[in-house]
Amino acid sequence: MGSIKNFGLVVNSENMFSKEEHGKPISEELSKILRRNVTKDDYANIALRSNVSFSTIRDVVYRTNSLTKTNAQAISLLVHAAYENSIAFRLQAEGDTLFLDNLLKIRPH
């Protein structure tokens, strides 16, 4: 299974978040989706790439800190990671479902 990183996707926080969203917490829906689809490793890797601290990224995701121009790029990268992870989770769940379906089928004696 390949990664969508190979498709040349460019993450641009200016296209993802409007200036009006700065100074406010991210939406509850985005917060829930990010919490469901990113790992601590994702936070750590994005903190290193963006020079925004792990704790700031976490606080924005948990809505205890507002989105700013400075942390918006890190949150955009986190959205990208969540997108990739959600695809991987879906594919894994589909494979698991097929395996379990075959295991649960009643076989004739």
Task: State pLDDT tens for residues 58-101.
Answer: 999 999 999 999 999 999 999 999 999 999 999 999 999 999 99
Give the pLDDT confidence score for residue 16 in this predicted structure. 87
CA–CA gap between residue 56 and residue 62 (Å, rounded):
10
Q: What is the SS3 assignment for 51?
A: coil
Give the pLDDT confidence score for residue 8 in this predicted structure. 53
Give the pLDDT confidence score for residue 79 in this predicted structure. 96
Is residue 71 packed enough to be buried (19+ CB in 10 Å), middle (13-18) or exposed (0-12)?
buried
CA–CA gap between residue 24 and residue 93 (Å, rounded):
35
- Summarised one tens digit per residue, pLDDT across range 1-51 is 444 444 455 677 777 899 999 999 999 999 999 999 999 999 999 999 999
